[in-house]
Amino acid sequence: MTTIYDVAEVAGVSISTVSHVLNRTRPVREETRTRVLAAMQKLEYRPSSLARAMVRQKTRTIGLIVPDNVNPFFAELARGIENYGFDAGYSVMLCNSDQSAEKEVAYLDMLISKRVDGVIYMTSDAAEERLAPLRSQMIPVVTFDRDFPGVHTVMLENHRGGFTATEHLINLGHRRIACVAGNYSTSHSQDRVSGYRDALEQNGLVYDPALVLIGDWSLASGKSAALHFMRMAQPPTAIFACNDIMAIGAISGLHTLGLAVPDDISLVGFDDISVSAYTVPALTTVATPVRELGEMMCQMLVDTIGGVIDGTAIRRTLSGKLVVRESTAPPHRR
């Protein structure tokens, strides 16, 4: 691996000069510059970001912690982050936590050791104390849907989303509406469910805990929730799932039972991941601008690193939008 010393020697200048032509950080005589450039070319010189990072105290790398990058929501989010990061000259380290506190801590530790300039932290629970090391190292953090003091965050209007989804079903004439919640002990799911509950109650319907099941955001849990609901003595005529993945699992469960969507039962999801427009039937859902969300989070982080944003924590809110497709219809009259 050729170093700045090799280049300096070949070009017959000092390493300072090489460094300065590299960074355009002070005027260099044109002839000298050309010689240096030629030497770099000839030696296929690639400056070491490591050495640079040591002295600049900036690695131009950010850490991204997600529960699971296979989940389309996080995949899309990672994409948005990577996109923005690339354009801004940052690379991103991918860390999957599997919703495990130990893995989160292990990764946080690794990221600090690698001296990342910042981290985007999609935590699965509300454990603020895990952020302490970042805080004491002065590493900026951006979270999603969290309310940690001093930490930037992007919020999603979860309550409103749950409300809108449910209201849509009520407006279609549904009276018995079930809900598949998610299991992160966070606003994420809880707010969507309370939006569901409020929509029910504001429309004079009773909230029945038996109609709320807690899944784990997976296809399998959506499917088993649907199976469970349809085996009740008095099954619901519609289901609101807290994410599209579970909604898709539910469609599959219903299909297994020989039930048709939306003829026999209506279904609303949340997120609008890309397959949702291609399911059979196409899914009605609350669309979240996930990629934009990722880009926004990355921008907040980069701006903080660059000092564009001062120390005070900022909050931004993104709202979902109901997208009506084929999976919802008035309840079947039997």
Partner DNA sequence: CTGAAAGCGCTTACAG
The answer to whether 246 touches 222, Cβ cutoff 8 Å, is yes
User: Which one of a second copy, DNA, none is in contact with 277 (Cβ closer than 5 to 8 A by kind)?
Assistant: a second copy
Q: Count CB neighbours of 35 within 10 A.
A: 18
Judge contact between 261 and 285, C-beta under 8 A: no
**Interactions with DNA, residue window 270-299 (CB under 7 A):** none
61 near a second copy, judged by CB under 8 A: yes
By CB under 7 A, tell whether 116 contacts DNA: no
Which tokens go with 146?
Answer: 């969290």
Q: Which stretch binds a second copy (CB under 8 A): 6-14, 100-108, 171-179, 307-315?
A: 100-108
Beta strand spans in 256-307 (E): 266-271, 284-287
248, burial (CB in 10 Å: exposed 0-12, middle 13-18, buried 19+) = buried
Write out the binding residues for DNA, residues 15-54 only, by CB under 7 A: 15-17, 19-20, 22-23, 25-29, 31-33, 45-48, 50-52, 54
Minimum gap (Å) between residue 130 Cβ and a second copy: 14
Cis peptide before 67 (omega within 30 of 0): no
Per CB under 8 A, which region of 14-22, 103-111, 203-211, 313-321 contacts a second copy? Answer: 103-111
Residues 84 and 90: their CA atoms lie apart, in Å, by 8
In whole angstroms, what is the distance from residue 217 CA to residue 288 CA?
16
- Segment near a second copy (CB under 8 A); pick from 14-22, 43-51, 200-208, 297-305: 43-51
Gap between the Cα atoms of 250 and 236, Å rounded: 13
- The distance of closest approach from Cβ of residue 43 to DNA in the complex, given in angstroms and rounded to an integer, is 10
Contact footprint for a second copy (CB under 8 A): 1, 44, 46-51, 53-54, 59, 61, 64, 68-70, 72, 75-76, 78-79, 82-83, 86, 91-96, 103, 106-107, 109-110, 112-115, 133, 136-137, 219, 223, 248-249, 251-252, 255, 274-275, 277-282
